[in-house]
Amino acid sequence: MKYIPLDVGVSIRATASDLRSFSWRTGQCVEARINVDDPEHLLRITFDGPCIVRIVDEFPLSTEHEDDPDEGLVSEHFAYRVEGATFDTSQSDAWKTVVSIQVGPTCHYRFITGNTCMDVVTPAKPVFTVIATETEP
């Protein structure tokens, strides 16, 4: 499995962050809000397209058996594009084919916090936006 770190535009220590909220949105597939080191701000992640999402506690992720050692993991890094992970390879080939024809090829993204992991398989690219905490709905 290969991890490719993503730049989210703000410094986030993975162990100091956590998933604050997650929702499916009309017009965009998903929206997640992440606590960051600054209590006055959140990181909003959105994907505009079809998605398969998994949200799990850190412990089950750490016990997932992969065939190869993890390559590219960076200490305290939060956001990755991932290649060769079991979560991605176990998703429906029919879904991936239809989505690839209609929208484009899918990618697997993984967001690791101190307590939670969010995996997203989608053809959409993540959009990262820093927002004020008081903009919470």
Contact 78, 109 (CB under 8 A): no
**Residue 70 clears pLDDT 80, i.e. is over it:** no
Global pTM reads 0.91
Q: 116's torsion region: left (phi>0), alpha (psi -120 to 50) or beta?
A: beta
- Helices marked H in 1-68: 58-62
Q: Look at the chain and report how many structural domains it folds into.
A: 1
Lowest mean pLDDT among 36-40, 59-63, 69-73, 109-113: 59-63
CA atoms within 13 A on the CB side of 68: 10
The CA-atom distances, in angstroms, between 101 and each of 94, 98, 104, 135 are: 11, 5, 6, 37
Structural domain containing residue 7: 2-135
pLDDT tens digits for range 84-130? 998 999 999 999 999 999 999 999 999 999 889 999 999 999 999 99
**Are residues 66 and 86 in contact, defined by beta-carbon separation less than 8 angstroms?**
yes
**Nearest of 30, 9, 28, 25 to residue 109 by alpha carbon:** 30
